[in-house]
């Protein structure tokens, strides 16, 4: 009977619920993208470093093969060698060069778009070959069909001509984004990544010998911690560095967990700030229900004089306040989905709505209705029938 007043009462709850849903879904989307990006970046690898300040000792590729053979839950072990240089094919392109052995192919679980990974013969001979992703191929060549093409790679004033033997498949959304970047001419803000035999860097570019202070292991799914601990212990035994703390594990799994926890905390704080409007909305429900009790005092008196129990009156008004809050919650939830989708598109983030968030919205809506409806409901239930009938 009081539609406008009811809608205005619901407004605070609608705004609060929609804000919380939108913020949580965007936060979930950001966490999902962050986790996916880090996971793609390291390919599930765990890096183990030798602290050069504590020891001058290094590992050789043969030592890494011993570690790989000794630990069954490891799919592969590769040197971790990174250099920066300039690639040239019609134009210069800043390039990150990752040197490894054939085990570094474990990073690429999306498969190959064309060609294959470099071979053990390439590693043994230090051949001028490389592997790159489709996105890096776009940055260097402007195309993804580059298997067999050659380009110049300069590192520390040494230039050699490399041949692309394989192109790794990239995520389709990422590939489309890089196509737009290449079209816009903004590639100077990016690095192309290429993967070469470590022996090419050491033998042909004169970047050291077969000695490494860092290597990566590729553990079986779900066994990263155990594999890393065993690899660390074995490396200490090979180098005779037991108990010296010179070998350390750099786990990207813990790094992802740390970033995810920080993002969760930030999202929750923002969501709590948005939830303040729920408190305002709840007070609005309590206010309007108090007014309703005053307006319907005579009705309450008639019901009680005809035998209505106190619990019946209490239940009636609690149901009314709960229904207002619950209905507002559903409207807010729908608007929250719409807002999160719009904000996600504007920020180029895939909003993610969890079932637990939906359940929380329903629970909050019911709680607000019951909690803020208790006072007016009790007031209605405890009215004296004679006083209530006397009311005009």
Average pLDDT in the 196-216 region?
89
Q: Going by C-beta distance under 8 Å and a sequence separation of 6 or more, which residues neighbour residue 361?
A: 17, 20, 21, 329, 332, 333, 336
Q: What is the pTM of this model?
A: 0.59
pLDDT given at position 357: 72
pLDDT given at position 34: 65
pLDDT of 153 strictly over 90: yes
The two structure tokens encoding residue 190:
């990016």
pLDDT band of residue 122 (cuts 50, 70, 90) is: very high
The order of strands in the sheet holding 46-50 is: 74-79, 214-219, 46-50, 247-251
Which pLDDT tens digit goes with each residue over 162-177?
999 999 999 888 899 8
Which pLDDT tens digit goes with each residue over 258-272?
666 777 777 777 777
Higher pLDDT, 368 or 59: 59
pLDDT of 251 strictly over 70: no
Strand pairing class (81-88; 129-133): unpaired
Average pLDDT in the 325-338 region?
85
pLDDT of 254 strictly over 70: no
CB 61 within 8 A of CB 240: no
pLDDT of 38 strictly over 80: no
Q: Would you kindly state where each structural domain of the chain is located, as residue ranges?
A: 3-36+261-390, 43-250
Which pLDDT tens digit goes with each residue over 271-318?
777 667 777 777 887 888 888 777 777 777 887 788 888 888 888 888
pLDDT given at position 44: 67
Which pLDDT tens digit goes with each residue over 338-366?
888 887 777 777 777 777 777 777 787 77
pLDDT given at position 42: 47
The two structure tokens encoding residue 281:
């909305």
Q: Going by C-beta distance under 8 Å and a sequence separation of 6 or more, which residues neighbour residue 12?
A: 277, 278, 280, 281, 282, 283, 284
Lowest-confidence segment of 77-86, 189-198, 336-345 by average pLDDT: 336-345
pLDDT of 247 strictly over 50: yes
pLDDT of 121 strictly over 80: yes
| Alpha carbons 81 and 4: distance in angstroms, whole number | 68
pLDDT given at position 8: 80
pLDDT given at position 196: 96
State percent of the chain over pLDDT 70. Answer: 91
Greatest mean pLDDT among 23-37, 104-118, 271-285 lies in 104-118
pLDDT given at position 14: 83
pLDDT given at position 281: 78
Q: Going by C-beta distance under 8 Å and a sequence separation of 6 or more, which residues neighbour residue 387?
A: 301
Q: Going by C-beta distance under 8 Å and a sequence separation of 6 or more, which residues neighbour residue 210?
A: 60, 61, 199, 202
Instruction: Please provide the DSSP assignment of 242-305 as one string.
Output: TTS--EEEEEHHHHHHHHHHHHHHHHHHHHHHHTHHHHHHHHHHHHHHHHHHHHTHHHHHHHHH
pLDDT given at position 132: 96
pLDDT given at position 360: 77
pLDDT band of residue 78 (cuts 50, 70, 90) is: very high
Which pLDDT tens digit goes with each residue over 129-152?
999 999 999 999 999 999 999 999
Mean pLDDT, the chain, rounded, equals 83
State percent of the chain over pLDDT 90. Answer: 32
The two structure tokens encoding residue 306:
């005809």
Average pLDDT in the 40-46 region?
61
The two structure tokens encoding residue 262:
């920080």
């Amino acid at each position: 009977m009081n539609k406008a007043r009811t809608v205005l009462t619901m407004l605070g709850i609608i705004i609060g619920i929609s804000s919380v849903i939108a913020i949580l879904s965007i936060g979930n989307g950001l966490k999902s993208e962050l986790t996916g990006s880090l996971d793609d970046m390291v390919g599930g690898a765990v890096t183990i470093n030798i602290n050069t300040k504590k020891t001058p000792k290094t590992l050789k590729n043969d030592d890494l093969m011993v570690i790989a053979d000794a630990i069954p839950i490891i799919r592969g072990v590769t040197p971790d060698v990174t250099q920066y240089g300039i690639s040239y094919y019609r134009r210069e392109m800043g390039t990150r060069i990752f040197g490894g052995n054939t085990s570094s192919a474990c990073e690429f679980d999306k498969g190959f778009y064309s060609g294959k990974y470099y071979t053990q013969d390439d590693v043994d001979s230090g051949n001028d070959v490389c592997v790159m992703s489709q996105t890096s191929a776009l940055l260097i060549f402007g195309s993804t069909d580059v298997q067999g093409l050659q380009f110049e790679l300069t590192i520390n004033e040494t230039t050699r001509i490399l041949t692309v033997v394989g192109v790794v498949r990239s995520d389709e959304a990422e590939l489309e984004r890089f196509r737009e970047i290449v079209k816009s001419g903004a590639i100077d803000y990016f690095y192309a990544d290429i993967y070469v035999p470590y022996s090419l860097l050491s033998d042909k570019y004169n970047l050291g010998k077969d000695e490494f202070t860092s290597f990566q292991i590729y553990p079986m799914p779900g066994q990263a911690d155990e594999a890393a601990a065993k690899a660390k212990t074995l490396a200490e035994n090979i180098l005779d560095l037991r108990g010296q703390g010179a070998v350390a594990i750099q786990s990207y799994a813990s790094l992802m967990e740390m970033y995810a926890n920080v993002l969760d905390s930030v999202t929750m704080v923002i969501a709590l700030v948005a939830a303040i409007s729920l408190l305002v909305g709840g007070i609005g429900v309590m206010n309007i229900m108090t007014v309703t009790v005053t307006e319907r005092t005579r009705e309450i008196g008639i019901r009680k004089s005809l035998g209505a129990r106190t619990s019946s009156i209490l239940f009636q008004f609690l149901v009314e306040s709960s229904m207002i809050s619950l209905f507002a919650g559903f409207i807010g939830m729908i608007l929250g989905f719409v807002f999160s989708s719009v904000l996600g598109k504007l920020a180029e983030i895939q909003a993610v709505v969890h079932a637990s968030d939906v359940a929380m919205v329903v629970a909050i809506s019911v709680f607000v209705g019951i909690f803020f409806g208790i006072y007016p409901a009790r007031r209605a239930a405890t009215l004296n029938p004679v006083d209530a009938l006397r009311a005009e």
